[in-house]
Structure 1
Amino acid sequence: MRMLSASSRDRNKPRVPLALAALAVVSSAVTIVPATAAQATSTTSATSNLSATSATGRAWNETAYRGRVEVVRAQDGPADPSVLTGRVFVDDDRDSASDRNERGLGGVLVSNGRDVVTTDSRGGYRLPVHDNMTVFVTQPSGYQVPVDESNVAQFHYNHLPEGSPALRYGGIAPTGPLPSAVNFPLVRSSLTQSSEQHCVIAGDLQTYDKEEVEYARKGAIGDLSKRNDYQGCGTLFIGDVVGDDLSLYPDVKGLTGLTNGPARFLPGNHDLDFDAETAEHSFDTFRAQLAPAYYSYDVGNVHVVALNTVRYPCTPDVDNADGRRPQCADPANRPAYNGRLDEHQLAWLERDLAKVDRNKLVVVASHIGLLNFADESSPIHQVDQVGQVYDLLKGRKAVAVAGHSHSIENMKTGDRVKGWQDVFGVDRLPFPHITAGAIAGDWYSGAITEDGYPVAVGRDGGRPGVLTLDVKGSSFKERYTVTGESDRVQTQLGVNSPTYRQWYVDRQAWNKTPEGAAPELGDPNVVTRADLAGRTWLTTNFWMGATGSTVKVKIDGERARPAVRTQELRGEAQRVGPEWSDPHAVAQQLVNGGSVADRAMHLWRFELPADLSEGEHRAVVTATDSYGRQFTDTLRFRVVEQR
């Protein structure tokens, strides 16, 4: 194995990009035409090893609808330049052009990012015009928006007549006068009609350079290229698509071209135009190359709301009115970001949800999570208007999914953490919240595996991978697929002994001031009599473990006994330190670099009996999730008189 640098990247600070060329890009989502052309053992199967064919045996690339949004320009322009008109139509011949014999589709939502309208019986819509707006269609169930050759969904048009201000990566090139029409093509789709959906949620791809693009290709993207179960819902990359260097977006499209379904994106704090002076233009390059900053779409009985929860630069009047976000005090000289929805987005969200059937499952996707466990006491790394979003979703079946923290968190309705109450006044979760982990794991840190990508064990002991929401009707079950593994691999076992805890302290100190020989842990699965007397736990890191999950341990074939969860999520603060850590993860991290897994909301401990005999022992661990799915893992350890 080749070793990477022991230092981990600060996810909150921009890294200086390698590429310096500015990119002036017209939105890739449009076709412009003249007006005359217009009109461990699991009860679930492992899907990650399936071939990339649909249920009918046809590969995605054979059936994918390739096309673009149709932008119609007439010499005289629109009759009323204050109103944008167009139609949503069924593109029977798949040429992205609205032909006279192709019917319009009524009842479809179209938005300018503020207003939300429903198309009439002929598919027509009218929207107020704003100088800087993105117009997009909400894909209805039973239909599919086109995708480009990289599988990126094409469903929006950017209107910015004069283009972006001067930005390093180009932003949006001038779009010129308002088109006479913007038409959104769709095709019928049994895949998006089905009440059974498998929605891949991909957290923090976050490639900082081409080497890391290759890590992603060999890792999680390679896994997705072998899966066939997500062709309808596709993959939603939930922010930090790249690591500050926006010139890597074409490389990312090279990755999505390997996947087997529509690819959609939402922005993260490492997708920013950092040289934008106002929040109005901070995601212009993202909008030009990938997607609107926020939008929605439907598949089956699911309504996905993709939010932009990153405000940059944050300002003292808007973001720091309560004095809790001092990093927002000087945006001119020290620009920073904050977890927040702007007023236009919040108004759009209210109008969007008002038009959605209350029987649908609402998936609220964001980069910075509404709330999370890893940053539970931070007003920056959670969303200011979390209470308002909860009010809008009251009475609905919902789930929130997010990235940003590079951790895996499966939080259920009713879970409570002290920081949520202290910072936001939220007593308990009104619906499940899932932090989806990260394709980058711990920022591509640690040793390189034989498969060519870093181990990158996370701050909670989690491993890189992707989340999938398996949906039937308006109900869902979540599953996490570790990169390079089948869905049966759901746990990680370790031994937390006094010897390990002392090494943790000594090695951490040595890493800060490396003098003399580095402290060595030795075999982590060897425990002494003194270790047993001083409390030694067998730990189980159950990545999708949650309230309602159980972990039982059977030593040497005797009766199975329950392990205890280290964080009950009953309103307590985080429990942090060696005794609450994942020793399997830490043993790698303190040697090979990266974060340190000193806390987790999905760790269980089982205290080993102090009277265990000397010799080898076998622990069989059965982890059962909140749906009754069981996963079995085994650890062999040895008891000795002394090391």
Structure 2
Amino acid sequence: MSRLSMTKLLLAVLLVFSQQGQSQAESKTAEKTATGVVFHDANQNRKFDAGEKVLPNVCVSNGLKVVRTDENGKYELPVTDDTILFVIKPKNWRTPLSKNLTPEFYYIHKPKGSPKFKYAGVEPTGPLPESVNFPLYPQKEPGQFRAIFFGDPQPRDQKEIDYIAHDVIEDLVGTDASFGVTLGDILFDDLSLFESQARGVALLGIPWYNVIGNHDINYDAPNDKLSDETFERAFGPSYYSFDYGTVHFIVLDDIEWIVSEENKAKNKKKKGHYQGGLGKEQIEFVKNDLQQIPEDQLVVLMMHIPLVGVEDRQDLYRLIEKRPFCMSISGHTHHHEHRFITKEDGWRGPKPHHHIINVTVSGSWWSGAPDERGIPHTMMADGAPNGYSIITFDGQEYNLDYRAAGRSAKYQMNIIAPEAVTVDQVGETDVMVNVFNGSEKSTVEMQIGPSGSWAPMERIVAIDPSFKKLSEAENGVDGKTYRDLPKPKTSTHLWQAKLPDGLKPGTYLIRVRTVEMDGDEHLGGRVIRVLPAKPAEKTAATAVTEK
């Protein structure tokens, strides 16, 4: 190498070190220390006034670290120019609520505000306040309580927000649930509707938490970090945690927005794509958060993309697999399923992890023929109706109830059988039942007539024939004004059995009962007619003989 080349190389190396040093200096300059107190806001003005009680031993986070307030109710945490500080709501306390009853447990520090996107983010917040304080209010939280879980309401427009109001919200007004959660896809891309959707849900009169979904992000964002700006303006941090009663809840952001360098230079409506992912910072937060939680406390993880679809789920598995009381719940796939994650997916825990893929409010994206109210029936592709779930928590135990939109709480299954069969067809005729909340741990039995014995039905993984028939009929209508139903998908909650031999002509009630994994028992029924055997058709030879 020539002396000139060597000189150029040295200069280049010095330039790199100089730039690194400058970058580190800028980073250190940008990082500051936030301080504040957590306190009982006795006069409910959200200000820390003289004489108000401070609350020690309450957790506060910057989305990475988790610290506890000292005996003076004080905390300290580092912040950058893009940090959200939040208090982790402790048992028997609540945070302030917005006018739409969304919890306001956070302070956003973005001195310059969000970038200018199609859907507005956070306005400039200005300099870091001298003290970032978090008010709390006492409330009684019983050991047993209920929470509502919405999967993917996903309205495209105000018309579909009205569908949600009439199909789900109206029946839930007056609920005794302690709070509710939307498990992502709060909207369907139009982020200007966050406010309208929240106003409708607020009619339930309970605090409502929100998980971010892939249709709730800014598609014009150049990276994952900035894709949550509009969600943050509306609801605060995209991941956080809180206690209620004896349960610890963790909301996860498992939407990873990926933009290639090539697409960054192109003016596209959708510059990138998403995948299921958590990222190192969020994993670090979960680690630090769980260090504060006793091993015998139930932990509930809430996310949008099902856990088995998250790229870095093994990192999360390592944090939760030794905990004896932990479950998780998601939405996204628009079907209802109980998954039990085992070593086949890299799980190392002593027992399988229970993950629920929750029924969706929007069903099959508000598709299918409208009912008498003008609302699409929007049956999901696994043959289950749209709706929501209610989970009862009791200490370390939990119990999920499936609720079909616009139906009685007793509507838990669809029995599929012909209207009529002849006596010679009975033993070859299948009865199938779709138990909406069924799982591999359910038992399902069938009885024909009041004196018949209960016989076990066999669980199968297959396409629901009633959905297949319905979708083919509706999608084949010319000039329809509604959206096509999706293609059928295999269901994990189907059972089948043959009608018993020996049934005489008559009208019978098929009864099906199921006992779910949590012990809940449900009954369903369907009427079937058994007809006399058809007379044998006469052949030509027989006809000649008779003459």
Bin of the TM-score, shorter chain as denominator length:
0.7 to 0.9
Note the C-alpha offset of 1:120. Answer: 1.0
- Alpha-carbon distance between aligned partners in 1 of 2:48 and 2:443, rounded to the nearest angstrom: 55
Whether the 8 Å CA contact 2:321–2:353 is kept in 1: the answer is no
Instruction: Report 1:90-169 matches (<5 A).
Output: 90-169=40-119
Aligned pair 1:358/2:280, yes or no? no
| Structure 1 position 591, deviation (Å) | 2.4
Amino acid at match of 1:559: S
Correspondence for 2:409 = 487
Letter in 2 for 1:271: D
Q: Contact 1:151–1:259 (CA<8 Å) still a contact in 2? A: no
2:449 counterpart of 1:556: yes
Is the aligned partner of 1:250 residue 2:132? no
Match of 1:205 in 2: 153
Partner of 2:225, secondary structure, is helix
TM-score of the aligned structures, taking structure 1 as reference length: 0.72
Residue 326 of structure 2 corresponds to residue 398 of structure 1: yes
| Separation of aligned partners in 1, 2:373 and 2:247 | 36
Question: Secondary structure at 1:162's aligned position in 2?
Answer: coil
Quote how far apart the aligned CAs of 1:432 are. 1.1
- Give 3-state SS (helix, strand or coil) of 1:600's partner: strand
Q: Report 1:591-610 matches (<5 A).
A: 591-592=473-474, 593-609=484-500
Give the counterpart letter for 1:585 in structure 2: F
Q: Using CA pairs below 8 Å that are at least 6 residues apart, which structure has the higher relative contact order? A: 1
Query: Does the Cα contact within 8 Å between 1:494 and 1:525 map onto a contact in 2?
Result: no
Is the Cα–Cα contact under 8 Å of residues 527 and 638 in structure 1 kept in the other structure? Answer: yes
Question: How far has the Cα of 1:341 moved from its partner?
Answer: 0.4
Q: Check 1:546–1:166 CA distance in 2 against 1; reply closer, same or farther (3 A cut).
A: same
CA contact (8 A) 2:217 2:228 kept: yes
- Residue 172 of structure 1: SS of its match in structure 2? coil
Q: For 1:333-374, what per-residue CA distance to the aligned partner results, in whole angstroms no more than 9, with x for missing partners?
A: 661100000111111111111111222100000000112xxx
Q: Which runs of 5+ in 2 are unaligned?
A: 1-28, 475-483, 535-547
Matches within 5 A, 1:503-542: 525-527=419-421, 535-542=428-435
In 2, Cα distance between the equivalents of 1:606 and 1:263? Answer: 43
Note the alpha carbon deviations across 1:139-183, whole angstroms, 9 max, x for none: 000100111121111111221222222200012222222222211
Q: Contact between 1:590 and 1:596, CA under 8 Å: does it hold in 2?
A: no
Provide the C-alpha distance between the structure 2 equivalents of 1:199 and 1:257, rounded to a whole number of angstroms. 15
- Which stretch has the larger CA shift, 252-261 or 442-451? 442-451
Shift of 1:211: 0.6
Partner residue of 1:230?
177
Q: Aligned equivalents of 1:100 and 1:347: distance in 2? A: 36
Equivalence for 2:26: none
Offset, 1:548: 2.5
Shift of 1:280: 1.0
Q: What percentage of residue pairs aligned between the two structures are identical?
A: 31
Q: CA contact under 8 A between 1:442 and 1:458: conserved in structure 2?
A: yes
Please tell me the root mean square deviation across aligned C-alpha atoms, in Å: 2.4
Q: Deviations over 1:520-548 (max 9, x none)?
A: xxxx5344679767x53211111111233
Superposed counterparts of 1:376-391, under 5 Å: 382-391=309-318
Query: Superposed, which structure 2 residues align to 1:74-89 within 5 Å?
Result: 82-89=32-39
Distance 1:426 1:474 in 2: 21
Give the deviation of 1:550 after TM superposition: 0.9
Measured after TM superposition, the shift of residue 224 of structure 1 is: 2.2
When residues 363 and 314 of structure 1 are mapped into structure 2, their CA distance, relative to the original with a 3 A threshold, is farther
Asked if the contact 2:359–2:386 (Cα under 8 Å) also holds between the matched residues in 1, the reply is: yes
User: Are the counterparts in 2 of residues 134 and 156 from structure 1 also a CA contact under 8 Å?
Assistant: yes
Which residue pairs with 1:589 in the alignment?
471
CA offset digits 1:243-289 (Å, max 9, x no partner): 00001111112112201210110100000100001111101000111
Partner of 1:601, secondary structure, is strand
- Alpha-carbon distance, 1:584 to partner: 2.9
Is the CA contact 2:358–2:389 (under 8 Å) kept in the aligned structure 1? yes
Letter in 1 for 2:180: T
Q: Deviations over 1:53-109 (max 9, x none)?
A: xxxxxxxxxxxxxxxxxxxxxxxxxx9971011111101111111111111111111
Deviation at 1:470, TM superposition (A): 0.5
Task: State the distance in 1 between where 2:385 and 2:147 align.
Answer: 20
CA distance in 2, matches of 1:387, 1:271: 25
With 239-248 and 589-598 compared, the bigger mean Cα shift is at 589-598
State the structure with more CA Rg. 2
The alpha carbon displacement at 1:610 in A equals 6.2
**1:545 maps onto 2:438 in alignment:** yes
What residue in structure 1 maps to residue 281 of structure 2? Answer: 344
Equivalent pair of 2:443/2:516 in contact (CA under 8 Å): yes
Matches within 5 A, 1:313-352: 313=258, 335-352=272-289
Match of 1:283 among 228, 243, 246: 228
Three-state SS of the structure 2 residue aligned to 1:219 is helix
In the alignment, the residues of structure 1 paired with residue 57 and residue 508 of structure 2 have an alpha-carbon distance, to the nearest angstrom, of 64
* SS of corresponding position for 1:216: helix
CA deviation profile, 1:196-217 (whole Å, cap 9, x unmatched)? 1212111111110011000000
Matches of 1:357 and 1:262 in 2, distance apart? Answer: 25
Q: C-alpha displacement at 1:586, in angstroms? A: 2.9
**Which one has the bigger strand percentage?**
2
Distance 1:352-1:332 versus aligned 2 partners, 3 A rule: farther
- Paired amino acid for 2:470: Q
Alpha-carbon offset, residue 487 of structure 1: 2.6
Change (3 A) 1:350 1:332: farther
Q: Determine if the alignment matches structure 1 residue 272 to structure 2 residue 217.
A: yes
Q: Secondary structure at the match of 1:106?
A: coil
Distance 1:587 1:388 in 2: 43
TM-score (norm 2): 0.84
Match of 2:208 in 1: 263
Distance 1:80 1:120 in 2: 26
Give 3-state SS (helix, strand or coil) of 1:280's partner. coil
Structure 1 Cα separation of the partners of residues 313 and 347 of structure 2: 9
Determine the C-alpha separation between the residues in 2 that align with 1:121 and 1:261: 32
Match of 2:168 in 1: 220
Deviation at 1:480, TM superposition (A): 1.3
Q: Does residue 518 of structure 2 align to residue 627 of structure 1? A: yes
Task: Tell me how far apart the structure 1 counterparts of residues 282 and 412 of structure 2 sit (CA, whole Å).
Answer: 37
Q: Structure 1's 122 and 446: CA in aligned 2 closer, same or farther, altered over 3 A?
A: same
Work out the number of aligned pairs and report it. 489
Q: Deviations over 1:449-492 (max 9, x none)?
A: 33453211101111111112201112111111111233322111
- Give, in whole Å, the separation in 1 of the partners of 2:265 and 2:511: 58
Is contact 1:566-1:601 (8 Å) kept?
Answer: yes
The one of 360, 378, 382 equivalent to 1:456 is 378
Corresponding letter in the other structure for 2:273: A
**Structure 2 vs 1, CA of residues 409 and 314 (structure 1 numbering), >3 Å: closer, same or farther?**
farther
Can you give the 5+ residue segments of structure 1 that lack an aligned partner in the other structure? 1-78, 317-328, 372-381, 496-523, 568-579
Counterpart residue type for residue 628 of structure 1 = G
